[in-house]
Amino acid sequence: MSTQVPEKAESEAEADSDTERIETPGDRRRAEKRARQQESTEAQETTETEEESIHLKVFRYDPEIEGKMEPRFDDFHVPFTKGMTVLDALMLARDRFDTTLTFRHSCRQAICGSDALFINGTQRLGCKTQISDLEEPVRVEPLPHAEVVKDLVVDMEHFYDQMHAVEPYFQTNEAPSDELQEQHQTRENREKVKMSTRCIWCGACMSSCNIAAGDNEYLGPAALNKAFRFAMDEREGEDMREHRFAILDQEHGVWRCQTQFSCTNVCPKDIPLTQHIQELKRSAVKNNLKFW
């Protein structure tokens, strides 16, 4: 039997073989693209598998949505990166897992203090608190002793009312006659009030104060610190000093402070709040002394 391939069949087989061997530039580009896509997919899967995550337990409450009116804690496992703060983790949890997660923050907008939270049992600023410094799970709650509006947002109106009650602005009846003349302050006096000017109105000190929690009329450490800043300013004069101590030297003023130091311990700006309140007490006593 002849094993010779018919001429026509042999020609067709060679043509098919030549077609398989020909690789156009377009074919090469598509092959390279598929290879890159495969490598990217494999790398992403490896990263997701090996990615270190942080466990957040976040307080949730929404009085306007049925089914969310009962306070609860939600768990989030967010990717951890070096230098991550609690605020970073919350933003990632909101953007990646639950867009309804609500909290305040004004970082990078020159308005500090709005992201004060109760983190692992302590009042802290979310933007300053490093995740790496905390034990897991990281428990994030709204500030205690304040009405919760939604999730981590609390009503700050009472806090602002107490701050405004001490008239936190410079006043004097001894201004220079020339409006262009500066009213000088000595270096020593500026050093005395310098730390009190660092207050960012975050409310952490007020939230930590057990006296403020039980006495809604107590001015509180933040307001008293603000009062210290102006009461000790030598430029305001004696008349204004008398006016300020009339506000402070009362039952719900400086005398309600029981020197627990809780406000000083949680202040993110390291203001010696308790020390300032005690100095106001001493000044109030001296102010009431009469010598005949």
| Whether 141 contacts 59, CB under 8 Å | yes
Mean pLDDT (whole number) for 231-249: 90
Cis peptide before 176 (omega within 30 of 0): no
Entry pTM: 0.77
Q: How confident is the model at residue 101 (pLDDT cuts 50, 70, 90)?
A: very high
- CATH for the stretch 157-173+186-288: 1.10.1060.10
- CATH for the stretch 53-145: 3.10.20.30
Higher per-residue pLDDT: 17 or 115: 115
Query: Hey, what are 256's tokens?
Result: 């309600």
Angle among Cα 74, 146, 200 to the nearest 5 degrees reads 100
Query: Hey, what are 17's tokens?
Result: 């073989």
Tell me whether the CATH fold assigned to 53-145 matches the one assigned to 157-173+186-288.
no
Residue 142 has pLDDT above 70, yes or no: yes
Domain spans, the chain = 53-145, 157-173+186-288
Alpha-carbon dihedral angle through residues 48, 53, 56, 61, given to the nearest 10 degrees: -20
Report pLDDT digits (tens) over 25-35.
777 777 876 77
